[in-house]
Structure 1
Amino acid sequence: MKLCRFGTRGVLGAVAAVVAVTGIGVSQGAGAERQATPVGSIRTTEGFRVELLRSAQEGEGSWISMTFDDSGRIVVGLDDRGLARLTLNESTGEADFELLGHTESLRHVRGVLHAHDSLYVSATNSQGIYRLRDLDGDDQYEDQQRLQSLKYDSRYGHGTNQITLGPDGMIYFVIGNDVVFPDPMEPDSPYREPQNDWLLPSQHDMGQDDRVGYIAKVDPEGKSWTVLAGGFRNQVDVAFNRDGEMFTWDADMEWDVGLPWYRPTRLNHVVSGGEYGWRWGTGKWPSWFPDSLPSTLDTGLSSPTGLVFGHTSRWPERYRDALFMADWQFGRILIVDLVPQGATYSASAGWFLDGGPLNVCDLVFGPDGAMYFITGGRGSQSGLYRVTWVGDGGEGAGATSPSDSPVVSTSQPPVAEAVGGDPDRDPVVARALRRQLETFHRQVDPSSLDLIWDHLGDQDPWLRQAARVALENQPLESWRHRLDEAKDLRAVDMALLAMARVGQSAEQPVVLQRLGAKDWSTLSPDDRLLSLRTAQLTLIRHGMPDPDGQSRLLQTLDPLFPQDGFAANWLLQELLVKLRAPGILARSLDLLEQASTQEEQVQYAKTMTQIETGWDRATAGRVIDWLARARGMSGGKLVETAWQRLRADFEARFNPELKAELVMELARLDEPLPAESLTLLPPRPLVQAWKMGDLIDDVLAVDPAQRSAAAGERALAATACLRCHRIGERGSPTGPDLTHVGKRFDGRALLESILEPSRQLDPKYAESSYLLSDGRVVTGRTVGVSKNQLVIEVEPMTARTLSVDRADIEASLPTTRSPMPEGLLDTLTREEILDLIALLRR
């Protein structure tokens, strides 16, 4: 486990990083033969067989991406640097390994794809996308062309990820939110110039740049870069179904659990111009924003890696339309069934296989129709596995080759010619209509306006969004007059949203006049949200109107607050705070005290911190009472940070005289919370200064089911792991979560991480030391990055941060030693250590 050590911080370079359990690594030093998780420790769906084809050996690295070449061999990207090739040896049932020359300069290869007689490589830490070719026929990739330099300012390792061949023959690059847009990129890209669009930005999010994750479509020569969709956090892979539709699985920020801006891990249907709403910090968009697309399926806590559809498998038909999703954190592969629903799909997920550990990094179907997957990442043990169907019936019949998959066309024929039927009832027609609308995301065509306008008010939100993005791409002067002619009120409302987003300030009075003329009492909940968000966007993008305009807008909105629904109250409260509505503080306090969920309360409180007037002893006392109750909020690591920031922001609203009156009430907030009940054991004597060689053989032989869970709990208490770490609902979120750590790492990795905590440092938890121009040294974990500042967490136990101007930094040095102390196991006996490792592996 990873206990944090806190104490006096040394000079530059002397203080090291917190090592995340999610970053446990295994050294590749000399020793016994390496062994990936045996198939006996893997459960799979009935009718399937799993084979272990190779365990990575000393010097073979950790494997994180894979592709089949045109000779049926597997090329893997290495965690550290370079590429390797695995050749299946059918006579032995194993795979032979060879490092590929000329590839050592490619660092942290998160994506690799063989297509068009080339090997396309996403080398995250080399900050580039490459095309490799074998021009002299020696079976090596001596020709390397850098297709694109992508600046990668890492916050949490969310760089260039996987690469996929689309059914249209184009190359699709999956880019996380630490990477800038390609330069140059096609100026008519359907997704371009994303904005935060926050009406009341939090001061704690200010200064962050506007990077978001995105999907780029590139021609085989790498000359044309088109950004198709964006607003992701760290989507690692994409996959196309048999309809030619694209899907991705986006990662959550698990530290945000329990906060209103938490977005669960989510499966997204990716469409042209799609905005999926991830933004930095507290500014993540909720899925119900009408200018964003919702998730297709929220999948709960997980760590998404590879995706693949089963249409090229030689498996029964039930599995050929299914999507398979690899979850690195929980050591499993999920199976997702997608059902056409209008212009999109509904989805349900289930279990396909899992193991302990089984940290799956990537998966593909091979030319033989079997599934192949690799484990590894963060320096951990890698293995190559094959999954085949051995049940009765189904194998081989009707398997689809990639060339049989439908092509995503860049221009669709008119829907009436393409497919007959009603788009409200026939998903095939609805998808064809959506694609036809999407052609106008890049084309300016006056003849398109009738079709666009006809679907701005469509009952299908995916058609509405496709039409709205198409409308925004047409000159405003070509459609402004339709606002006066249209009879479909929802179409008018969507056009107003488009006008607020892409119009000029001169259009703002039109938007506000239309909003003021509405009969809000007749609006459906969805239409009310649409109009409220439009009101926000016109203020965000075009500034506050003149006093008369502000007064009329306030007159429209003030009687509406509060509403019955959280979403409407979210938008209305922000609007009324921005407009300085009379009595907004008292009404917000009532709403705060009546809110039933923690997330609602935090959102209302966050907005209240921006109310400038009305603070007196009574209103401040009510806020302090809420802060006292909220100290026990549960959730991820950043719940405590959020509480600290809310307290500071509220106190900043209290003038000195009021603060003096409240000194006793505020002091209550500093009283220690009742500590979690931990068994405090007396000091234990030294047993032995344990080393890897003393324990590794016994640890590798441990069967967790045969060890005592109670004894493991006693060993856990003796090492005081829960003072910094959480297992299930117990412990502290200060350090990495140890829940299900055995799904990601084997006994060797767990033991090494305890005995040698500085061997593998995860960037997500790593600290750095900064020498400032005034001579100070600031050491901590970087939690905020902007062009001008760094925000450094200097005290993990209290979440205290310092802001440092980049201009003041004279030198910086990543730490190489973990503050988790060595020797944690030295007071345990051999049997206690084995019980502890078994507990963590359960």
Structure 2
Amino acid sequence: MRKIARCAAILGLLVGLGSFSPFNAQEPKASQKKTAQKKSTGPKRSATEAEFLKTLPDFKVELIHTSDSASEGSWINMCKDGAGRLIVSGQRSQPMLRFTIMDGKVSKVEKLDIPLSEAMGLLWAFDSLYVNASGPEGFGLYRCNEAGDSGKFSVKFLKRFEGDGEHGPHALVLGPDKMIYVVNGNHTKLPKGLSEDSPHRNYKEDHLLPRQWDGNGHAAGIVAPGGYIVRTDADGQKIQLMLAGFRNTYDMAFNGDGELFAFDSDMEWDWGMPWYRPIRILHCISGAEFGWRSGTGKWPSYYPDSLPAAVDVGVGSPTGVTNGTGAKFPAKYQKALYMLDWTYGRLLAVHLTPKGSSYTATFENFVAPISLTDPNAPKKPLPLTDAVVGNDGALYFTIGGRNNQSGLYRVTYTGKESTAPADLKNTAGEAERKLRHEIEAFQGKVDPKAVSFVWPHLSSPDRFLQYSARIALEAQPVAEWKDKALTEKNPAAALTALLALARVGDAKLQPELLKALEAFPISSLSPVLQLDKLRVWDLAFIRQGRPAFTIAKKIIAEVDPLFPTASRDLNRETAQLLIYLQAPGIATKVLKEMAHATYQEDVLFFLFHLRTLLPGNWTMDQRKEYFSYFKKDWKSLKHDPMMDKWFADAGRGYSEGASFPNFLKNFLREAVSNLLDSERKELEPLLKTLNVTAVATYNYKPRTTVVKAYTMSDIMPKLDKVDRGRNFEKGKEAFVVGQCVKCHRLGDEGGAVGPDLTSVASRFDRRAILESIIEPSKVLSEQYMNERIVTVGGKTVVGRIVDDTPEKIAVQPDPLSIDRVEIKKNEIEIREVSKVSPMPEHLVDMLTEEEILDLLAYLESSANKRSRLFQK
């Protein structure tokens, strides 16, 4: 057995929290199946009863079917067929089912004969079932047709999407243009044969200063475009790349105006870092770029070459999305979009308000566990997966994923307001949306009328119109509009046109472009246009090369007086540019700003970027001040108030993301590598004291005596004893002596190698939590899987990939160590995913049965001593 000291991660891979799609539980290897298939005893599992859920006044939620896990699986996707029956798909190797609903009850359940699995996209259109799934031809889009009403479907392969699992092929929706829209996660490669008139093009990473990959290696080596939406016809013949820059959007829906909206995920390992982006509701216009980049590289929403969210929601794990069309609800809820959060069990009703050619949005909890807002209520999991409006006007939703117990629920309206079909279209903003669509018609193709048509809108105060106009301009030959861009007098139009020129113009145009920028001194511009000008400079240098010394000196003279300023956004952008240009005195100014910063994220932003400032720009005292931040108690700083609100909305306290300590390690490693030998020697005493991974110490004595090699059948019959009278201190002790605390955060304590367990009970029932402790390899979450590398020389290395370049990879065998092994790619013979959990088995074998029950209560309560579980 592996040493317990190696990342004793108590819920290992089952409970990957947050934005990772929770729907692709992995099968264990044959060598694990004996353990994984042991029959468990105890009470029969049931989906969370409706009495534990809260909905809005005058609405009613009912549980109408609980899945038989053995025969019906755990459900991850749902659609409605031409007869109004509900089709649900299960995880890998699980069946696809069809439910007939009569009078609000399930009258029939059929297993469909379809040779497809792991379907995360289902759509009924053109008298066919379209499925985005794994099938005979691999992952991709399949068209399925039923023979009569037999439940047996023929399958036709339409388009391959190379990628699988949690960040692979996802949802399908039918657009008002009768085209099929497909959204795929950020680990999915673009399909072959993209149409030349695709609106989304010219994408690159576009970082002024070097990016670092995720501290734990997630998505290392994955570059733009990130998650994307393509559009295709009924036969999958023509396929266009419409927009991109998502992280891992799982689903999307059109509103009553025919506009597309998606619910994008966060990267919860980024919590506490300046590049963290919350789960967001996005208006998906043609050609849009939403700026996901791997690791530290995520773009801020104010970049003019990207688009902002309609609303930031907070922390969570977005899953299903649908609209209220056909619902027998009041008009407000017919017009709403419904978006699901798997992690915290929130089914959100989203209300859109037109703003120019786009929208802003608000949201409310439509259905959620009572315990989300009442800490004294029993915690019951509601891992929401998908939703659809039935032919009877009810809203149906499912729970499941990661082998969770699944259930089918029905929401109806019982109040007195009219439920007659409402007019779903908005008259507000109609003219602006029409204009944007006219501009979008010029995207992706050359048209002699394009430049004159779109040019007036480059200065539009409507960001979505302005953005659309620039995308259309970039599709036209540069020679037709470069002179116009270089001589434009309107600041907004000029900066937008010059942004386009920086993105698609030849490097030899850079001197003219930079000269044109001089017509708009940054001190004379509004804050928004200041950010725009800074981004034009960035892109000119990123895509066309570093400027000559004389030009750099002039830019420094123009920008330096702006830093620092009262604007956090301007501070970040001016600091980056001045560091890039190696501006004299920039170390002094940045360190002073760090010393006076209110928010942790601002200090970390400067700490990260200042690592690239070259020797010759530092004094030794400045070096010492900089490295002293690696000893900082980060809890002494505040967070942006919105960050605190997002955690409160999810019914939990704040905690750092899983990659937080490793990000700091990587900052430190790179900062040290940039020291001169003489500097390193003088700083050696300080550098030896730095420890960015220290965790709290505890007085519990380590245990070495095995009580019993536990199986599920030992504990399952006793799970009801967790309900009351547990011992909080014993639960905490079990969490520590089992070494769980080294890898997992619970509340504000613990490590961050494994998933955050603070809200585990909102996603998993008690049995699932126990199963992940006793049988850690039974269900593996992809983001915590190791890779196994075998070299041509016979050397085997197992660990996380923390860097991936065209020439080599870096593997971190021990997540608690900064050590890494670099392997040249031409020396790799085998590279495969390890199906063995990094978490060892038998971690609780040193505990008594009562202590295991106390541990379950400790986890289920989120380490809350006042929980009812600890009351007599």
TM-score computed with the length of structure 2 as normaliser: 0.86
Q: Which residue of 2 aligns with 1:622?
A: 625
Q: Which residue of 1 aligns with 2:867?
A: none
Contact 2:132 2:142 in 1 (8 A): no
Q: For residues 627 and 690 of structure 1, do their structure 2 counterparts lie closer, same or farther at Cα, with a shift above 3 Å needed? A: closer
Whole-Å Cα distance in 2 between the matches of residues 483 and 682 of structure 1? 70
What letter corresponds to residue 163 of structure 1 in structure 2? L
Whole-Å Cα distance in 2 between the matches of residues 731 and 95 of structure 1? 48
Deviation at 1:95, TM superposition (A): 5.0
Whole-Å Cα distance in 2 between the matches of residues 119 and 740 of structure 1? 36
Q: For residues 46 and 839 of structure 1, do their structure 2 counterparts lie closer, same or farther at Cα, with a shift above 3 Å needed? A: farther
Alignment partner for residue 123 of structure 1, among 121, 133, 138? 133
Say if 2:406 is the partner of 1:382.
yes
Deviation at 1:30, TM superposition (A): 5.5
Say if 2:58 is the partner of 1:47.
yes
Alignment partner for residue 37 of structure 1, among 36, 42, 48? 48
Secondary structure at 1:340 match in 2: strand
Q: Which residue of 1 aligns with 2:596?
A: 594
What letter corresponds to residue 306 of structure 1 in structure 2? G
Q: For residues 604 and 684 of structure 1, do their structure 2 counterparts lie closer, same or farther at Cα, with a shift above 3 Å needed? A: closer
Say if 2:317 is the partner of 1:303.
yes
Say if 2:718 is the partner of 1:698.
yes
Q: For residues 182 and 769 of structure 1, do their structure 2 counterparts lie closer, same or farther at Cα, with a shift above 3 Å needed? A: closer
Q: For residues 242 and 725 of structure 1, do their structure 2 counterparts lie closer, same or farther at Cα, with a shift above 3 Å needed? A: same
Contact 1:190 1:441 in 2 (8 A): yes
Deviation at 1:42, TM superposition (A): 2.4
Whole-Å Cα distance in 1 between the matches of residues 822 and 249 of structure 2? 29
Whole-Å Cα distance in 2 between the matches of residues 786 and 142 of structure 1? 43
Secondary structure at 2:813 match in 1: strand
Q: For residues 444 and 601 of structure 1, do their structure 2 counterparts lie closer, same or farther at Cα, with a shift above 3 Å needed? A: same
Say if 2:67 is the partner of 1:56.
yes
Deviation at 1:273, TM superposition (A): 0.9
Secondary structure at 1:292 match in 2: coil
Contact 2:352 2:360 in 1 (8 A): yes
- Residues 706-725 of structure 1 mapped to structure 2, 5 A cutoff: 712-713=731-732, 716=735, 719-725=738-744
- Residues 210-229 of structure 1 mapped to structure 2, 5 A cutoff: 210-229=224-243
Alignment partner for residue 434 of structure 1, among 433, 436, 444? 436
Range 729-738 or range 626-635, more displaced: 626-635
Deviation at 1:629, TM superposition (A): 2.3
Say if 2:392 is the partner of 1:398.
no
Whole-Å Cα distance in 2 between the matches of residues 679 and 319 of structure 1? 54
Q: For residues 4 and 267 of structure 1, do their structure 2 counterparts lie closer, same or farther at Cα, with a shift above 3 Å needed? A: farther
Contact 1:334 1:349 in 2 (8 A): yes
Whole-Å Cα distance in 2 between the matches of residues 8 and 473 of structure 1? 51
Alignment partner for residue 742 of structure 1, among 752, 761, 765? 761
Whole-Å Cα distance in 2 between the matches of residues 499 and 730 of structure 1? 50
Deviation at 1:102, TM superposition (A): 3.8
Range 227-236 or range 765-774, more displaced: 765-774
Q: Which residue of 1 aligns with 2:613?
A: 611
Secondary structure at 2:449 match in 1: helix
Q: For residues 373 and 670 of structure 1, do their structure 2 counterparts lie closer, same or farther at Cα, with a shift above 3 Å needed? A: closer
Deviation at 1:208, TM superposition (A): 4.5
Deviation at 1:702, TM superposition (A): 5.7
What letter corresponds to residue 147 of structure 1 in structure 2? L
- Residues 262-277 of structure 1 mapped to structure 2, 5 A cutoff: 262-277=276-291
Deviation at 1:247, TM superposition (A): 0.8
Secondary structure at 1:795 match in 2: coil
- Residues 665-676 of structure 1 mapped to structure 2, 5 A cutoff: 665-670=686-691, 673=694, 675-676=695-696
Deviation at 1:607, TM superposition (A): 2.2
Whole-Å Cα distance in 1 between the matches of residues 117 and 685 of structure 2? 56
Q: Which residue of 2 aligns with 1:170?
A: 179
Contact 1:28 1:61 in 2 (8 A): no
What letter corresponds to residue 780 of structure 1 in structure 2? G
Deviation at 1:169, TM superposition (A): 1.6
Gaps of 5+ in 2: 17-21, 28-35, 215-219, 370-379, 638-654, 862-872
Secondary structure at 2:770 match in 1: helix
Contact 2:229 2:242 in 1 (8 A): yes
Whole-Å Cα distance in 2 between the matches of residues 691 and 750 of structure 1? 13
What letter corresponds to residue 531 of structure 1 in structure 2? K
Deviation at 1:34, TM superposition (A): 4.2
What letter corresponds to residue 286 of structure 1 in structure 2? P
Deviation at 1:232, TM superposition (A): 0.5
Q: For residues 211 and 291 of structure 1, do their structure 2 counterparts lie closer, same or farther at Cα, with a shift above 3 Å needed? A: closer
Alignment partner for residue 365 of structure 1, among 376, 385, 389? 389
Deviation at 1:124, TM superposition (A): 5.3
Q: For residues 812 and 448 of structure 1, do their structure 2 counterparts lie closer, same or farther at Cα, with a shift above 3 Å needed? A: closer
Q: For residues 716 and 654 of structure 1, do their structure 2 counterparts lie closer, same or farther at Cα, with a shift above 3 Å needed? A: closer
Alignment partner for residue 65 of structure 1, among 73, 77, 85? 77
Whole-Å Cα distance in 1 between the matches of residues 818 and 117 of structure 2? 32
Deviation at 1:793, TM superposition (A): 2.6
Deviation at 1:246, TM superposition (A): 0.9
Q: Which residue of 2 aligns with 1:411?
A: none
- Residues 654-803 of structure 1 mapped to structure 2, 5 A cutoff: 654-670=675-691, 673=694, 675-676=695-696, 678=698, 680=700, 683=703, 688-699=708-719, 701=720, 704=723, 712-713=731-732, 716=735, 719-803=738-822
- Residues 204-353 of structure 1 mapped to structure 2, 5 A cutoff: 204=213, 208-353=222-367
Say if 2:643 is the partner of 1:644.
no
| 1:205-230 Cα deviation digits (max 9, x unpaired) | 89544341111111111111111111
Identity of aligned residues (%): 36
| 1:344-381 Cα deviation digits (max 9, x unpaired) | 11112221112321111111111111111111112222
What letter corresponds to residue 19 of structure 1 in structure 2? L
Q: Which residue of 1 aligns with 2:145?
A: 134
Q: Which residue of 2 aligns with 1:414?
A: none
Q: Which residue of 2 aligns with 1:112?
A: 122
Q: Which residue of 1 aligns with 2:500?
A: 498
Deviation at 1:792, TM superposition (A): 2.4
Secondary structure at 1:157 match in 2: helix
Deviation at 1:479, TM superposition (A): 2.6
Contact 1:207 1:789 in 2 (8 A): no
Whole-Å Cα distance in 1 between the matches of residues 528 and 752 of structure 2? 37
What letter corresponds to residue 478 of structure 2 in structure 1? L
Whole-Å Cα distance in 1 between the matches of residues 692 and 432 of structure 2? 59
Deviation at 1:721, TM superposition (A): 3.2
The alignment covers a number of residue pairs equal to 807
Q: Which residue of 2 aligns with 1:453?
A: 455
| 1:428-459 Cα deviation digits (max 9, x unpaired) | 22222222221121343333434422221112
What letter corresponds to residue 150 of structure 2 in structure 1? D
Whole-Å Cα distance in 1 between the matches of residues 7 and 233 of structure 2? 54
Whole-Å Cα distance in 2 between the matches of residues 4 and 343 of structure 1? 59
Whole-Å Cα distance in 1 between the matches of residues 683 and 604 of structure 2? 22
| 1:707-736 Cα deviation digits (max 9, x unpaired) | 666665565456453332112222221221
Q: Which residue of 1 aligns with 2:645?
A: none
Range 610-619 or range 824-833, more displaced: 824-833
Deviation at 1:233, TM superposition (A): 0.4
Deviation at 1:174, TM superposition (A): 0.8
What letter corresponds to residue 199 of structure 1 in structure 2? L
Secondary structure at 2:314 match in 1: coil
Whole-Å Cα distance in 2 between the matches of residues 43 and 28 of structure 1? 36
Alignment partner for residue 96 of structure 2, among 56, 62, 84? 84
Whole-Å Cα distance in 2 between the matches of residues 7 and 604 of structure 1? 33
What letter corresponds to residue 652 of structure 1 in structure 2? S
